[in-house]
Amino acid sequence: IDVYGAPVIGKHEQWHGIVIVAHDITELKRLEGIRRDFVANVSHELRTPVTSIKGFSETLLDGAYVDQSALLSFLEIIHKESNRLEMLIQDLLELSRIEREGFQVDAQPTEMDALIETAAERIQGRLEEKNISLKLELQPVLVQGDANRLIQVMINLLINAITYSGAGTAITVRLFEKDGEAVTEVEDQGIGIAASELPRLFERFYRVDRARSRNQGGTGLGLSIVKHLIEAHHGKVEVRSEVGKGTTFTIYLPLAR
């Protein structure tokens, strides 16, 4: 608490009392803390690929370029790390846009089943790379939503399902109406998430396994983006998981008006 006190003295110097003003700054302090953590996280996340790009390019310039195999493998690392940087910057920009106060999605009557199919087509390559099968069990459902944003949400959830699942497993997406809402489930047979990790899962940069996420090209921002976009649609996201068995993300969205 921020406390400020001052005596109240009348026109003729008579003593009236003391005024005390107390501001509860707990919330301000908390927000300030979150902002500081965020800046520290961003700096750290940006520095990691930059350090790597700088180191490998310097080694090449110092003469390693004459070795063909070093040249190729270092260039591959530099290329991969530049892609990471690009993705990180894209996700950060997207997050800052959708977190801004007053952000609104352009919600129109939209065929949720069709946009799930579009998202599925866009991740086809990744499914094949990992030999993961995708089952779509979709009923025709019309939601009030912004198709491009919802495709982004579905791609983020599907890429996570692929990233955190083993080869040869299956992912199932179900879409149906329940209690006047559109319900979308993305279920995988992957590594699962411990119950103790679930409460922090949607925080920016939160990852259960930092090294694994990085290695797979994750930015740690995907689920924050999902949560913000779904909330901007007046919907909600839930997650259920069992370690070693798999994870299900469920999205609830309003039906078209």
Please give the distance of CA 179 from its chain centroid, rounded to a whole number. Answer: 28
User: Does the protein bind ligand ADP through residue 164 (CB under 6 A)?
Assistant: yes
Burial (CB < 10 A; 0-12, 13-18, 19+), residue 205, is middle
User: Collapsing DSSP states into helix, strand and coil, what is residue 250?
Assistant: strand
Q: Minimal CB distance to ligand ADP: which residue?
A: 218
Instruction: From 48-56, 115-123, 139-147, 190-198, give the range in contact with ligand ADP by CB under 6 A.
Output: 190-198
User: DSSP letter string over 225-238?
Assistant: HHHHHHHHTT-EEE
Q: Say if CB 229 and CB 222 are below 8 A apart.
A: no
Beta-bridged to residue 64, according to DSSP, are none
Q: Say if CB 174 and CB 138 are below 8 A apart.
A: yes
116-155 residues in contact with ligand ADP (CB under 6 A) are: none
**Among residues 46, 77, 208, 256, the one that binds ligand ADP under rule CB under 6 A:** 208
Instruction: From 9-17, 45-53, 106-114, 222-230, give the range in contact with ligand ADP by CB under 6 A.
Output: 222-230
Please give the distance of CA 222 from its chain centroid, rounded to a whole number. Answer: 2
Q: How many CB atoms lie within 10 A of CB 209?
A: 14
User: Does the protein bind ligand ADP through residue 45 (CB under 6 A)?
Assistant: no
User: Does the protein bind ligand ADP through residue 209 (CB under 6 A)?
Assistant: yes
Q: Say if CB 74 and CB 60 are below 8 A apart.
A: yes
**Among residues 150, 193, 251, 253, the one that binds ligand ADP under rule CB under 6 A:** 193
Instruction: From 24-32, 55-63, 67-75, 199-207, give the range in contact with ligand ADP by CB under 6 A.
Output: 199-207
**Among residues 143, 146, 150, 190, the one that binds ligand ADP under rule CB under 6 A:** 190
- Residue 189: phi and psi, rounded to 5, are -115, 40
Instruction: From 18-26, 27-35, 101-109, 221-229, give the range in contact with ligand ADP by CB under 6 A.
Output: 221-229
Q: How many CB atoms lie within 10 A of CB 171?
A: 23
User: Does the protein bind ligand ADP through residue 191 (CB under 6 A)?
Assistant: yes
User: Does the protein bind ligand ADP through residue 161 (CB under 6 A)?
Assistant: yes
User: Does the protein bind ligand ADP through residue 223 (CB under 6 A)?
Assistant: yes
Interacting residue ranges for ligand ADP, rule: CB under 6 A:
160-161, 163-164, 188, 190-191, 193, 201, 206-209, 213, 218-224, 247
